[in-house]
């Protein structure tokens, strides 16, 4: 299977602190992956590098069939290339309603002039409604997203991610602050998404990771400590020492 994303030998230093140290990471085209690790292991920095927010000091980040380097591309270009990102804190446009949030994310030409002359087509409305149904916000379309509950905002953000139709979803702690039922819904959304695209989930909650039932990568001090099934990595003595034991 060809890889969708190949990160190899990446290092990045902030003021002398090595946040990422010779990290290598691959993910295939329709794969779910969970990344776990203690605080400061470099999980968020890893996402920053892939999405273009942070430039690595060295190493390669290659994308897709043509192995395009993502390193010189801007955040917006990378997003258009097919990388979607969900932040830890739910970031939706609170001043706008659910429909507009989803429409904004819907995969379309992003240039100012084409957006200026954009006319809402019936097809787009149908797509937005289908997405809203999938994330359970069908009845909330006209509501301002700032009024939604925490869990609903998280789903809206996942919905926006899906609307972008990315090949790779980077999801940072999707289950944080959610109730039990909300977690189950979130799990099924992500599992469904991983059938057609790559999904990388950063999560602290082991129970949630277990439910995702996927390959796990453990990060520690900016590099990969262990990789494999959850049972495999949790049996690893090093992982127990640096992460689980604490």
Q: Which of 115, 130, 235, 240 touches other proteins by CB under 8 A? A: 115
Ranges within 177-236 binding other proteins (CB under 8 A): none
Cα–Cα nearest to 160, from 138, 188, 131? 131
Q: Token pair of 58, please?
A: 């060295």
Number of amino acids touching other proteins (CB under 8 A)? 36
Contact characters 70-109, other proteins, x per CB under 8 A: ----xxxx-xx---xx-x---x-xxxxx--x--xxx----
> Binding of other proteins at residue 167 (CB under 8 A)?
no
> Binding of other proteins at residue 120 (CB under 8 A)?
yes
> Binding of other proteins at residue 150 (CB under 8 A)?
no
> Binding of other proteins at residue 245 (CB under 8 A)?
no
Least gap, CB of 18 to other proteins (angstroms):
24
104 vs 176, beta carbon nearer other proteins:
104
Least gap, CB of 189 to other proteins (angstroms):
19
Least gap, CB of 239 to other proteins (angstroms):
31
Contact by Cβ (8 Å): 184, 151: no
Cα–Cα nearest to 170, from 7, 55, 22, 38? 7
Residue 8: which residues within 8 A CB-CB, separation 6 or more? 24, 59, 60, 62
Contact by Cβ (8 Å): 153, 129: no
Q: Which of 9, 55, 72, 110 touches other proteins by CB under 8 A? A: 110
> Binding of other proteins at residue 154 (CB under 8 A)?
no
128 vs 225, beta carbon nearer other proteins:
128
Q: Which residues bind other proteins (CB under 8 A)?
A: 51, 53, 74-77, 79-80, 84-85, 87, 91, 93-97, 100, 103-105, 110-112, 115-116, 118, 120, 122, 125, 142-144, 147, 160, 164
């Amino acid at each position: 299977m060809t890889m969708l994303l190949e990160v190899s030998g990446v290092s990045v230093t902030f003021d002398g602190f090595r946040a990422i140290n010779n990290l290598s990471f691959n993910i295939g085209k329709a794969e779910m992956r969970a990344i776990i690790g203690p605080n400061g292991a470099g999980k968020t920095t890893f996402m920053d590098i892939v999405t273009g927010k942070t430039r690595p000091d060295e190493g390669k980040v290659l994308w897709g069939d043509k192995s395009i380097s993502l390193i010189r591309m801007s955040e917006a270009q990378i997003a258009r290339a097919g990388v979607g990102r969900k932040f830890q804190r739910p970031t939706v446009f609170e001043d706008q309603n659910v429909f507009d949030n989803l429409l904004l994310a819907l995969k379309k030409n992003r240039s100012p002039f084409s957006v200026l002359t954009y006319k809402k087509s019936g097809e787009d409305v149908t797509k937005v409604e289908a997405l809203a149904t999938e994330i359970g916000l069908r009845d909330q379309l006209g509501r301002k997203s700032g009024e939604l509950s925490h869990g609903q905002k998280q789903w809206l953000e996942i919905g926006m991610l899906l609307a972008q139709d990315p090949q790779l979803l980077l999801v940072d702690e999707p289950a944080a602050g959610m109730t039990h039922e909300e977690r189950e819904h979130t799990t099924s959304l992500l599992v469904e998404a991983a059938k057609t695209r790559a999904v990388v989930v950063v999560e602290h909650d082991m129970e949630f990771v277990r439910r995702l039932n996927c390959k796990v990568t453990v990060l520690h001090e900016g590099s990969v400590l262990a990789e494999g099934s959850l049972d495999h990595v949790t049996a690893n003595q090093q992982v127990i020492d640096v992460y689980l034991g604490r």
